[in-house]
Copies of this chain bind each other. A is one copy, B any other.
Amino acid sequence: MRDLDEDALLARIFPHLPRGASTLVPPGDDAAVVAAPDGRFAVTTDVLVEDRHFRRRWSGGFDVGVRAAVQNLADVAAMGARPTSLVVSLVVPGDLPAQWVEDLARGFGAMCAPLEVGVVGGDLSGGPVVVVAVTAHGDLEGREPVLRGGARDGDVVAHAGVRGRSAAGWALLEEGRADVAPDLVAGYLRPSSPLALGPAAARVGATAMIDVSDGLVRDAGRIGRASGVVLDLVGPSAYGADVAALAAAATALGRDAGDWVMTGGEDHGLLATFPQGRALPEGFRVVGRVRAGEPGVVVEGRAWTGSAGWDHFG
């Protein structure tokens, strides 16, 4: 980095960043211009900070790029929108290898290119730690956005995506036991989100939806409180395959796999509610029911007494 000026670094980054199918004016001017054929756009922002959200000794630039892209695109998908574009503000220390930054760009590219999402803008500054701030946009394709507050008594609760892998992978890294289950570690470093299922859920009439970033229980509670209903989730015993996939890690660390499934954060699955009897898009699995009652979440009819999920702040 010390050897490179900003222009030289940008020249290494740009080839990895896809233009995107919705980009009308690409980066390079004062602003980009993106198509919003629906006459509206969904927009969300999330920031990753070194030593808060990732550690450079665990996460390479590619991993951080994938993760920053996924967590923002999942927020767009959770509105029922199709992601179209994102912008990245990047802060990098002077001793960061230029290759790390190029790998970050490759990570963004790997996530965005197959979706035809454009990386349409960016800013670059020096600073004491790596900070990656992303803003992502999506097109609602004529549908109403799926909010957190639309769940109704009698709806089914369904989830798409993995459960507990990111938390388990993080715990393995934390304890120096990545060797136990490299697939779980990869699930933490480079989460994958069923992004196409956000618009698919909206098309079949999802009444509420959320990106599961803070764990099933906690994010279900958010839908419950926003909707004024109770989400009654099945418990870990219903997730045999998920628990089995985490068993080796749980045993090695003396942890509870069911707790990871219920409260592990950063898997970026989609949790949605649907009117009863609706055929769900393939990939969603029913994990509970909505009923009237004190707004929030219960598991098998009772308050969940496991971990409260993750909170990176403070």
Contacts and interface: CB of A to CB of B under 8 A. Distances in A.
A171 B75 CA distance: 43
Contacts of A42: 25, 31-33
- What's the number of copies of this chain in the assembled complex? 2
A129 B35 CA distance: 35
A96 interface: no
A24 interface: yes
Interface residues of A, number: 70
A46 B131 contact: no
Contact of A44 (B2, B38, B121, B136): B121
A263 interface: no
A30 B123 contact: no
A314 B49 contact: no
A156 B78 CA distance: 49
Given A25-B145, A125-B47, A76 B313 contact: no
A79 interface: yes
Contacts of A5: 313-314
A313 B124 contact: yes
Interface in A225-248: 226
Contacts of A49: 91, 125-127, 131
Name A's interface SS.
strand
A269 interface: no
B39 A41 contact: no
A43 B29 contact: no
A36 B139 CA distance: 11
A191 to B, nearest CB: 16
A42 B43 CA distance: 13
Given A49-B91, A125-B312, A44 B24 contact: no
A257 interface: no
Contacts of A145: 24-25, 29, 31, 33
A45 B125 contact: no
A141 to B, nearest CB: 13
A128 interface: yes
A313 B126 contact: yes
A31 B52 contact: no
Contacts of A121: 43-45, 135
A47 B91 contact: yes
Contact of A79 (B33, B52, B128): B33
Interface in A11-55: 24-25, 29-49, 52-53
A106 interface: no
Contact of A29 (B35, B36, B48, B147): B147
A251 interface: no
Interface of A: 2, 5-6, 24-25, 29-49, 52-53, 74-76, 78-79, 81, 85, 87-91, 94, 120-129, 131, 133, 135-138, 140, 145, 147-149, 209-211, 226, 311-314
